[in-house]
Amino acid sequence: MLDLSESRAQIDVIDKEITRLFQKRIDVCRDVAAYKIQNNKKVLDKTRENQKLEVLSKLAEDSFKEHGICDLFTQVMAICRKRQYQIMKEEGVAQPVPFDCVDEIDKTNATVVFQGVEGAYSHAASMAYFGDLATYFHVPNFEEVMKAVANKEADFGVLPLENSSAGQVGDVYDLLTRYDNTIVGEYYLPVRHCLLGLKGADIDKIQTVYSHPQGLMQCGKFLNEHSSWQQISQANTAMAAQKVIKENNPKTAAIASETAAKLYGLEILEEGINDNKTNTTRFIIVSRKKCYRRDASKISIMFEIPHESGSLYTILSHMIYNDLNMTKIESRPIPEQPFEYRFFVDFEGNLADAAVENAILGIKEEAARLKILGNY
């Protein structure tokens, strides 16, 4: 039996030879890329790669080595594809992304739409982002926000995308897929829920509480302490406050903001009832204009992939290989395709960066569908 140092010496020699051959294979990729560019062929040829893996796997001496060979050459071919994408970019073959780079997002005399009514958290986020000079109006649901922007009734729309306690707002993710609006900004709003009632209401006599489903979820511990209360969902927290005013019943209450209490003349029966005291909602700002700020540093994309082993890794590997930091990933079911999903990814970068351009090109070529949701 060889000692460890002798075994490692053998491995070093083998690894040097593998490295030499690997670099030679990469060099050949330039000729392959040139042919594909000249003949307008896609970089990914799945049939060819499967045939290649089948031939190579037959050279294996046992099942363990067979699996290892397939894994190894799957990675080798993926890296070679990435080199071909780089060459395509260098040769100017790749289509540029259809976004305009601007110094600032123009908010001058902006018309802004949000879901809900005055006093809702969406209203607060809108005011915080755009200030007093914008013109605001509200609509009853998230889709109406997207429609108003798409139809030029509003310059910008403000939508909640996720909450630090309750997670994603799934409907908004779905709308980003369906509408051709672009994310141009975001705002993080701290959320502090309060229990609101009529003037003089007694918390011990409350029987019914109204709020948005997320508001009810985010106050689960408090509501468990009052398990006899009937919980009824509303379109948003401010509308819950309005309902308490409209019913004029001291036995009803709403979970909403301090702003809503002041706006509708309700009494705060208990403050800060949300489970997570650092509860925060991330709002996105959408526009129908496809643009991004020159100093934008976050990119959001959506992609769909084949329902097969390794397909998600294949797409995400383009970010890894181009040294891009992924900060978030979410999935949503694809309608009419049971148990198949589309993915939403945030990563750091700017659409003008070479690394981002290379990653986007690779993902576009290899995903079933890619949509750049925004750079902000």
106, 187: one domain: yes
Percent of the chain clearing pLDDT 70 (strictly above): 100
Same domain for 167 and 224, yes or no, is no
Write the DSSP assignment of 15-48 as a string of letters: HHHHHHHHHHHHHHHHHHHHHHHHTT--S--HHH
With respect to residue 199, please indicate whether it lies within any of the assigned structural domains. Answer: yes
Residue 288 and residue 160 in one domain: yes
Determine whether 137 is an active site residue.
no
* 280-302 pLDDT, tens digit each: 999 999 999 999 999 999 999 99
Last residue of a domain, one of 293, 327, 361: 293
What CATH number is given to the structural domain containing 343? 3.30.70.260
What H or E segment, with its residue span, contains residue 330?
strand 326-333
Domain count, the chain: 4
Using alpha carbons, list the distances in angstroms from residue 325 to 17, 40, 322, 332, 349. 32, 32, 9, 22, 8
Query: Do residues 306 and 375 both lie within one domain?
Result: yes
Backbone angles phi, psi at 114, to 5 degrees: -140, 160
1 inside domain: no
Q: Is residue 6 part of a domain?
A: no
pLDDT tens sequence across 130-172 = 999 899 999 999 999 999 999 999 999 999 999 998 889 999 9
Catalytic annotation, pick one of 130, 142, 156, 283: 283
pLDDT confidence bin for 113, thresholds 50/70/90:
very high
Residue 113 is inside which H or E element, if any? strand 111-115
Residue 92 has pLDDT above 90, yes or no: no
* Same domain, yes or no: 122 and 183: yes
One of 281, 303, 344, 347 is an active-site residue; which one? 281
Q: What share of the chain is helix, strand, coil (3-state, %, to 5)?
A: 40, 25, 35
Residue 155 shares a structural domain with residue 284: yes
Question: Are residues 180 and 288 located together in one domain of the fold?
Answer: yes
Structural domain including 370 reads 295-376
Tell whether the model's pLDDT for residue 1 goes beyond 80. no
CB 105 within 8 A of CB 184: yes
CB within 8 Å of 249: residues ≥ 6 apart: 198, 208
| Tokens of residue 357, six digits | 């351009």
Mean pLDDT of 109-117: 95
**Which of 122, 86, 305 lies closest to 215, judged by CA?**
122
Please report whether residue 275 resides in a domain.
Answer: no
141 shares its domain with 286: yes
Q: Residue 5: inside a domain, yes or no?
A: no
Rounded to whole angstroms, the Cα distance separating 99 from 181 reads 12
Compute the CA torsion angle 323, 329, 334, 335 (nearest 10 deg): -140
Looking at residue 22, its pLDDT comes to 97
Whether residue 202 sits in one domain with residue 168: no
Residue 67 belongs to domain with CATH number: 1.20.59
Question: Cα separation of 308 and 319, whole Å?
Answer: 20
Helices (H), the chain: 4-38, 46-57, 63-90, 121-130, 142-150, 170-178, 213-218, 220-224, 237-247, 258-264, 311-321, 354-366
Say whether both 172 and 288 belong to one domain: yes
What is the Cα–Cα distance from 17 to 13, expressed in whole angstroms?
Answer: 6
Select from 94, 113, 139 the last residue of a domain.
Answer: 94
Do both 178 and 199 map to the same domain? no
Q: 333: which residues sit within 8 A by CB, 6+ positions away?
A: 339, 340, 341, 342
140 and 289 share one domain: yes
Active-site residue 208, yes or no?
no
Say if residues 268 and 196 touch (Cβ distance below 8 Å).
yes
The reply to whether 55 falls in a domain is yes
Interval 218-261: pLDDT, tens = 999 999 999 999 999 998 899 999 999 999 999 999 999 999 99
